[in-house]
Amino acid sequence: MIPGLQPIPLTELKVLSSPKVWQIKGGLDSFSCFTPVTGKVIAEHQGGILLLKGTLSTIIFLECDRCLKEYKQKLECNCEELILIKDSSISPSNEVKNRIPPEDFMDSLTPQESFDPERWIFEQLSLQIPLLKVCSETCKIPASLVSNTNSKYSQSSSDLNVSYDPRWAQLKKLL
């Protein structure tokens, strides 16, 4: 847990005269980080909207989807998010209503809820993790994982056609 990143009630954010700013330097419990998460998160209550801005970076460990070796991946994000505060007595200003369509709000909170900056940081960094985790452009599937009798695959990083991969054998045993 990063020190000082406890959830803050929206009611507390509302009474602040300026945006709440967190300087970030530390590890997240849910990430295996090689370097501490560093950056800044800003939260500003704007009536019916919570405006969040963040600049974050870290290096994490990932497992390559091809060779299964562990490698380091740098994660960086410069993000901004609007969260709708659902309260019938408070509505966003007309300027905000005209500028931001309702479908642009990815999340919503009620006025009684709290904003959890550590959870938000985790979500933003998680979105930066590549779907296909490959340690390098030249990474190849190890020969020991490809059937010698039926191996038809291209070594290029963009076209990988494997007819049989013994890693699936363990799953096949479960059927």
Which two structure tokens, joined as six digits, stand for 121?
């940081």
Residues 6 or more apart whose CB falls under 8 angstroms from that of 9 comprise: 112, 113, 114
Same domain, yes or no, for 86 and 168?
Answer: no
**Does 133 map to a domain?**
no
Same domain, yes or no, for 103 and 76?
Answer: yes
Residue with tokens 């847990």, as numbered in its chain: 1
Burial class (CB in 10 A: 0-12, 13-18, 19+), 89: exposed
The count of domains in the chain is 2
Concatenate the DSSP letters of all residues of 89-134 into one string.
T----HHHHHHS-GGG--EEE-TTSEE-HHHHHHHHHHTTS-SS--
* Average pLDDT over the chain, rounded to an integer: 79
Contact 74, 108 (CB under 8 A): no
**Does 3 map to a domain?**
no
Strand 70-85 to 107-109 pairing = parallel
Concatenate the DSSP letters of all residues of 2-19 into one string.
-TT---EEHHHHHH-SS-
**Percent of the chain at pLDDT exceeding 90:** 34
Same domain, yes or no, for 86 and 158?
Answer: no
Same domain, yes or no, for 25 and 84?
Answer: yes
The pLDDT of residue 38 is above 80: yes
Residue-wise pLDDT for 73-125, tens only, equals 999 999 999 888 886 455 555 445 556 666 677 777 877 888 899 999 999 99
Same domain, yes or no, for 42 and 74?
Answer: yes
Q: Which domain holds residue 168?
A: 143-173
In this predicted structure, which of 53-62, 75-84, 158-167 has the lowest mean pLDDT? 158-167
Same domain, yes or no, for 25 and 70?
Answer: yes
Contact 135, 71 (CB under 8 A): yes
Q: What is the mean pLDDT of residues 124-145?
A: 86
**Does 136 map to a domain?**
no
Same domain, yes or no, for 99 and 21?
Answer: yes
Same domain, yes or no, for 80 and 159?
Answer: no
Q: How confident is the model at residue 134 (pLDDT cuts 50, 70, 90)?
A: very high
| Choice between 17 and 147, residue whose per-residue pLDDT is larger | 17
Same domain, yes or no, for 122 and 148?
Answer: no
Same domain, yes or no, for 147 and 80?
Answer: no
**Does 160 map to a domain?**
yes
Which two structure tokens, joined as six digits, stand for 113?
């809820």
Burial class (CB in 10 A: 0-12, 13-18, 19+), 128: middle
Same domain, yes or no, for 83 and 158?
Answer: no
Q: What is the DSSP letter of 33?
A: B
Same domain, yes or no, for 33 and 115?
Answer: yes
Taking the C-alpha atoms of residue 42 and residue 39, their distance in angstroms, rounded to an integer, is: 10
